[in-house]
Amino acid sequence: MVPGKMDIKTLIHAAEISGKLGQLVPEQVPLQRRRPRVSVLSAVWNLTNTVMGIGMLSLAGTMAQAGVVASTSFIFVFAAITIVSVMLLVDGAIDTQAKSYEELARITAGAAGERYVQVALLGSIASACVGFLVSVKDLAGFAASALSGMADDSKHSDELLLMLVAAVVVPMSLLRSLDAMQVTSFLSVLCLVWFVGVSSLAAPFAIGNEWACAKLPEQIIDRSPMIMPQTLNGLLTALSIIMSSFVCQTSVFPIWTEMREGDASHGLPVHSTRRRFKTAVLVTVGLCTAFYLAAGLSGYLSWASAVLSVDLVVQCYDPQSWYVLFTYVGLIMMCLFTFPLFLFVARSMVLRMAGYDERAPYHIFVGVGLALIVASVIPAMLVSDLGYVLAIGAAWVGPALTLEMPAICSMRNAETLPQKLRCGALLVVGVVVHVLAVLECNY
């Protein structure tokens, strides 16, 4: 062999060794191209902030309308349905590589399915966003009136709403990542925990001392608990509100996509991401179920049917007490911090519908966000009943997001007859609930 050269056998042997060594090293994305991983805790805060929001403030009212037994049962039923529904969507995303709810619907149910999901998502997000701002307006107006003597009228409440939106919501709307909102989501959850703690601890004193509702000081409260529902309308209204209180399907795909992209860039397999995401879902639903039961039962036992005469249950508590004042401030901040999560999802969908598959230019990103904020503020200034907003929104679009479309999207990928039957049963339940909720909703 000529010095400095290798024969063909040496080259082949070197290639074989190189190939074997390559198999021992997992394929990795170069360090400079890796994306930050979304932790389970971050997913929990964002999911919990999406689920456990303003619906909590209406749960005492659902018990006044449908009774304790039915309302409590609905909370457990929709907790279980939420876990099943979310994981069906995640499995669909894994099977089809879809990065959004509407893309999954298009792949599995065609153009009609995609349009149905788009309408349902936008309707659900619009209802939630208007509900957040209605809560901010009512809480800020009533608290300011009680503390400073400012007139508790629509003019002053609207002015406070506009100032708070400009100071908090607009700056947060400029963020381009959901993971960047994990700190505010954590603070929002803490504010809700504080509300649940205050209402739970105050319940024995309200019952024992027969406290009067702060907004209705002359009204005599009959605290005899209603066990069973009195009317079908009240039962279905409570069902709609509780169903809307568990809706998190609007943010499942953005959170899942960010988590999966981060894991993939570090060479982690999809089943690892699915396991972490499922852990986040189980923790989230468990927390929300516990807090919903505590908030609903304590609020209803404290104020009974009086909760149906106020816009928000917290208005029955004395805002001049320091702990109630903290509750007001906390709930206002929770609404303002949670609004951008829904805005992020709505804006992403609008941009996709406009043809921006990847990141849109920043000025378009900001412009769409501001337009959606304006579109939410205007109706919020015209409405003051949170329960009405949630019930209408949930009746029209809730079953589509939580029951119907997850069943339809999963039916195509179901491999066994039992799986197909479960999807079919979920679809039938969704259609029946949808029809009844729309027909019997209190318009």
Q: Flag whether 271 is in a domain.
A: yes
Among 20-29, 212-221, 338-347, the range scoring the smallest mean pLDDT is: 20-29
**Residue 418 maps to a domain:** yes
Q: Answer whether residue 9 is part of any domain.
A: no
User: 23 lies in a domain?
Assistant: no
- Predicted local confidence at residue 5, as pLDDT: 45
pLDDT above 60: residue 19: no
pLDDT: is 50 or 199 the higher one?
199
Which segment, 80-94, 138-152, 220-234, is predicted with the most confidence on average? Answer: 80-94
Answer yes or no: is 79 within a domain. yes
Report the pLDDT value the prediction gives residue 120, as an integer from 0 to 100.
Answer: 92
Domain of 177, in residue numbers: 37-440
Structural domain contains residue 227: yes
Query: Has residue 1 been placed in a domain?
Result: no
Average pLDDT of 350-368?
Answer: 86
Per-residue pLDDT of 119-133, as tens digits, reads: 998 998 898 899 999
Query: Is the pLDDT at 400 greater than 90, yes or no?
Result: yes
pLDDT of residue 170 exceeding 70, the answer is yes
SS3 of the chain: the string is CCCCCCCHHHHHHHHHHHHHHHHHCCCCCCHHHCCCCCCHHHHHHHHHHHHCCHHHHHHHHHHHHHCHHHHHHHHHHHHHHHHHHHHHHHHHHHHHCCCCHHHHHHHHHHHHHHHHHHHHHHHHHHHHHHHHHHHHHHHHHHHHHHHHCCCCCHHHHHHHHHHHHHHHHHHHCCCCCCHHHHHHHHHHHHHHHHHHHHHHHHHHHHHHCCCCECCECCCCCCCCCCCCCCCHHHHHHHHHHHHHHCCCHHHHHHHHHHHHHHHHHCCCCHHHHHHHHHHHHHHHHHHHHHHHHHHHHHHHHHHHHHHHHCCCHHHHCCCCCHHHHHHHHHHHHHHHHHHHHHHHHHHHHHHHHCCCCCCCCHHHHHHHHHHHHHHHHHHHCCCCCHHHHHHHHHHHHHHHHHHHHHHHHHHCCCCCHHHHHHHHHHHHHHHHHHHHHHHHCCC
Q: What are the tens digits of pLDDT across the range 29-73?
A: 454 456 678 888 888 988 887 888 778 888 998 998 899 999 999
Mean pLDDT of 82-109: 92
Q: How many domains, the chain? A: 1
pLDDT band at 4 (very low <50, low <70, confident <90, very high): very low
Q: Does residue 291 lie within any of the structural domains?
A: yes
Q: What is the CATH number of the domain that holds 297?
A: 1.20.1740.10
Higher pLDDT, 433 or 22: 433
29-43, 247-261, 360-374: lowest mean pLDDT where? 29-43
